[in-house]
Structure 1
């Protein structure tokens, strides 16, 4: 691996952290470590979303930049008499990316390594090989020989189960492979935006937020936005990359390295035209590349943010990412850096007058 710089170290720390929906504490601790030096104050809402506040003009509008702390994973539901662990999925999983994958159970006596069990092909009939295994039939092998031994390991129902995968740079060093890009990259964007505004004038108050429980219903965005009461919201997340074999342009046409995605539409929100036009203009003026995208299904934290109080004009800005909702995904560092640059340039111009114009667009 190439030498790790400060940004890569942050991205590694964020993605290596374990934090499925409902148990984001470890990921929150990492984000707080990197966010706090650039914020005037850091606090949480009552469910555990992390909020870093930085005031440019304390009387200016409130701008919320939110990535979510949680990643998809599993939860222990029961342990059978032979010591095999059964689980509930947390977030959206496709069964075909799960078998034979390594996981970490966050037990009461420390981390326990396991693997999602699979049958060897030698004993499968030709018919069985063609059929995907149902998630409800899967189990995790932690090397226990009985329920009592599994309990002795510190494993019990309710424990978090996290995909295991180490952060890596690919041979093209701008291509980054890791678990939990969905959505530690959004957390990294929120951190980096506050960092780049450290000594800059901005006519507003900026909130860099790490929300909880996005993958199970945009829940932390609702509570944190209620606490902040923002005037403008940006949900920063991953988006679908369409540049791998088997994906048609009709399904997804974004490419890695071609700029952040501006989400026109998803199942949680129609993007606010005023914010969208403002961001496009900002990108064009600063020669920042961008791509448009839309998704018939799924949503981002903006879906909750824009419905806060009497409404918050919002836009989702996402990073095209391959293989999301699996153990390992790939994104391009340039897209991350251009997303940060775009949001920073936008924030510098979001004074009270501009926000009023946006609201009336």
Structure 2
């Protein structure tokens, strides 16, 4: 099972799916879920909804992952053939200079240029350039030549990144682990449920545009009207030398899935606090499967998930998050431990199998 997750992740992270341009990921997920579900549909905005009917009455449970990744898009093509670009989602300016990129879903190669070191002033060598000061070189000498490659304004751009296994083969580093790891988990969840009886109805959802405002989840939540939802996403691991782990971010790679109890970006927007009964459901399944669960609060630290939009969708949906820790967020070298992801799979499989056994009232 772990090897299947790894291979699905390898394929998924090799796709270009910046927010608003998720078509390749949507097609992949539709094709993989189609033989495993009773029905698979894609709404007008790209949310994939896979439905599996249980063998008796029970609640509708929505389990979701988002398809999009952070990246860039073509802002302008200069007369001399260089490309200006905009950020899509939260990418640090520190990651820009000298990086290889793929442009469009056809992965046309490009380079974010960097001024030769021996030509930089001492001030330039110390300053981080912003996106507005950077450009992409595709080896063309004119705008006409760039357009001849099929590059247009608005086309998606991502960091070029290989799929690297560490010395410990359970540790994998690449781009878009956030959140393709849980797209892979959704596929495995539907495989695990083949021939298994459960009550109610499962909606496996792959949402769009999470990285730019949690857009797809609210669309799907309003359409499905689930009785409760489990959002699958990644969460930053704080176990590196540059973070005071126990004070700021007590989440460890390889220590099991995480369950954020409360999270929200600065200013109080996109706030989510796990529904008390959903918390019980998650913790009970983790205990039954002997999976260690890392609980955490991340309020005001810029972390949020689709759960924040689902809490107010369809007049309010009881929701919780089960997350896979990963280091080096929103970079081309996100690092994940597949054992943590396997733990997420076991928890959500148990949730579906025991769907309907828990009263979902608030008190």
Correspondent of 1:327 among 328, 332, 335: 332
Matches within 5 A, 1:89-238: 89-106=87-104, 110-238=106-234
Contact 1:45 1:223 in 2 (8 A): no
Deviation at 1:253? 1.5
**1:39-84 CA distances to partner (integer Å, 9 max, x unpaired)?**
1110012201111111114532111111000001111010111111
**1:190-238 CA distances to partner (integer Å, 9 max, x unpaired)?**
2222211112111121111110000001111111111211111111011
Aligned length: 353
- SS of residue paired to 1:60: strand
The residue number in structure 1 matching 2:294 is: 291
Give me the whole-angstrom Cα distance separating, in 2, the residues matched to 1:5 and 1:192.
Answer: 11
Deviation at 1:37? 2.2
Deviation at 1:125? 1.6
Aligned-pair Cα RMSD in Å: 1.5
* More moved, 292-301 vs 227-236: 292-301
Correspondent of 1:340 among 342, 345, 356: 345
- SS of residue paired to 2:203: strand
Give me the whole-angstrom Cα distance separating, in 1, the residues matched to 2:25 and 2:260.
Answer: 26
Gapped runs of 5+ residues in structure 2? 265-269
- SS of residue paired to 2:314: coil
Contact 2:289 2:346 in 1 (8 A): no
Contact 1:278 1:358 in 2 (8 A): no
**1:223-281 CA distances to partner (integer Å, 9 max, x unpaired)?**
11112111111110110101111111222111111111001111131111221122112
Change (3 A) 1:127 1:212: same
Change (3 A) 1:342 1:5: closer
Contact 2:5 2:185 in 1 (8 A): no
The residue number in structure 2 matching 1:360 is: 362
The residue number in structure 2 matching 1:253 is: 250
Gapped runs of 5+ residues in structure 1? none
The residue number in structure 2 matching 1:242 is: 238
* More moved, 145-154 vs 51-60: 51-60
Contact 2:100 2:159 in 1 (8 A): yes
Deviation at 1:179? 1.0
2:323 aligned with 1:318: yes
